[in-house]
Amino acid sequence: MYVCICHAITESEIREAVERGARSLCEVQSSLPVAGCCGRCEAAARDVVDRQLLGASPRGAA
C-alpha cells in the first residue's frame, strides 16, 4: 500500500528501511523522502515504523 503518494513510497519500503536499521521516522527519511513534501502521510509513516519496530526482534537474538 502507498503511504506517501507525493513520492510513491510504499509501506513495504518503510518496513525495509527499519529492517536495515532505521529506528525512527527521521532515520527512515535519511534514505526515503517519505513525509518530505506535503506532510499528510507523516502519521501513517510513523505508524508503519512503530509497528515494524514492535514486531522486530532484537539484533542478535536467536
The pair phi, psi for residue 4, each rounded to 5°, is -110, 105
* Burial readout 7-29 (b: 16 or more C-beta within 10 A, e: otherwise): eebebebbbebbeeebeebeebb
pLDDT value, residue 59: 54
pTM of the model: 0.86
Q: Which domains does the chain have, with CATH numbers?
A: 2-55 (1.10.10.1100)
Alpha carbon of residue 42 to chain centroid: 10
Confidence of residue 60 (pLDDT cuts 50, 70, 90): very low
Quick: pLDDT tens for 25-50: 999 999 999 999 999 999 999 999 99
Statement: residue 62 has pLDDT above 80? no
pLDDT value, residue 30: 97
